[in-house]
Amino acid sequence: MNLVFFFAGLGLLVVGAELLVRGASRLALAVGLSPLVVGLTVVAMGTSAPEVAVSVGAVMGGQSDIAIGNVVGSNIFNVLLILGLSALIVPLVVHSQIIRQEVPIMVAISLLLVVMVQDRVIGMYEGAILTALLVVYTSFIVAQSRRATRAAAADMETPEAKVGSGGWSDSRLVQVGMIIGGLACLIVGSRLLVTASVAFAQALGISELVIGLTIVAAGTSLPEVATSITAALKGERDIAVGNVVGSNIFNILGCLGLSGLVAGTAGISIAPSVMAFDIWVMLATAIACIPIFLSGREIARWEGFVFVAYYVFYVTYLVLAAEQHDALETLTTAMVYFVIPLTLVTTVAIYLRPNRTGNV
């Protein structure tokens, strides 16, 4: 029955996110927002809606480890696995705005989160700050996009384009209905997924934190997987990258911000293992995007392979650590003294090579 709950929850999360993204995107375009700002805000928020639903639901149910593990694990999953797989399909060209603006913002808020959790709790105060930053960031992106759209329209001496297919989904009532239906699916799906995940953790003897960092994080990131890989297959490579970066920003500001507010004065407790390892991995993956994105303004296939390999190493480490396996020390030694130094040297060498293409 827990398996039924788990897969039913995942299904509802995917359907709910799809309805929410479609309804909100069409409604946003109908009121004059550009496709760029819709992609960075509405689509990114919509694909991150499962993370919000699961984290808030976990906090309300008293499972703080699942809440924090879901966000940290999803951000690691998004960069290493989703961008890695997308780059393996086709090298991903990175838009200059993402390099100059969105990636530094992602790194900055990841660092802010590391600072906030030093007292091992995300309280209502921190939640309010994160939520306020989300409002500021979204307002800034919308204002920036509208200025760019008006400038482009003025240069062309034509009115701003109205987007619409003329179909049934152009109705404002239908769009609002899709949003409400998507939110309902997300709420029910999150409850089922959290309930099943807690049962799995208890049955397997694995902590709720590890379940949140792996199974729940991967499950709630399915909308990002579908969006980025589909975009890569269609040649819309900047969307594949923008969706991941935007989702990571929203995961921290939106998921943990709202979860912190819901947690109230008790706050969300942070496990010592998250402080010692996982949150630093999340910060490292965010920082790793800077030199990789700058080197020729694309994520090459070999870089995608490295991202995927690092995610495999990360999950393997979590499983071995949970079981206190003898191979844990060997894996750690190999990563610290061979894999990580080799990756850093290779990245620096490629970035500094005289004939690298593209300048930001």
Q: How far apart are CA 53 and CA 281, in angstroms?
A: 24
Q: Answer whether residue 187 shows pLDDT above 70.
A: yes
Query: Using one digit for the tens of pLDDT, what is the confidence trace for 226-249?
Result: 777 777 777 766 667 877 888 899
Q: Coil, strand or helix: which one is 239?
A: helix
What average pLDDT does this structure show over 1-25? 77
Which span out of 25-29, 198-202, 331-335 was modeled with the highest average pLDDT? 331-335
pTM of the predicted model as reported, rounded to 2 decimal places = 0.80
Q: Which residue has the tokens 């990114």?
A: 44
What is the mean pLDDT of the segment spanning 162-190?
A: 71
Average pLDDT over residues 291-315: 83
Whole-angstrom CA distances from 49 to 8, 55, 102, 186 are: 17, 10, 19, 7
Instruction: Enumerate the H helices of the chain as residue ranges.
Output: 2-30, 35-37, 44-47, 49-60, 64-77, 84-89, 96-97, 103-116, 124-156, 172-204, 208-211, 217-220, 222-233, 237-250, 257-263, 272-273, 279-294, 301-323, 327-334, 340-352
Phi, psi of 310 (to 5 degrees): -65, -35
Residue ranges of domains in the chain: 2-352
pLDDT value for 3 = 81
The pLDDT assigned to 360 comes to 45
Is-contact 270 68, C-beta < 8 A?
yes
CATH code reported for the domain at 2-352: 1.20.1420.30
- Which of the four pLDDT bands, split at 50, 70 and 90, describes residue 161? very low
Question: Each residue of 51-80: pLDDT tens digit?
Answer: 888 888 888 888 888 889 989 999 999 999
Q: Among the listed ranges 36-40, 58-62, 139-143, which one has the minimum average pLDDT value?
A: 36-40
Q: The dihedral of CA 165, 171, 172, 173: what is its sign?
A: negative
Mean pLDDT across the stretch 85-95? 83
- What value does the mean pLDDT take over residues 198-223? 80
Query: What pLDDT is stored for residue 109 in this prediction?
Result: 95
Give percent above pLDDT 70 in the chain. 82
Which pLDDT score, from 0 to 100, does residue 35 have? Answer: 58
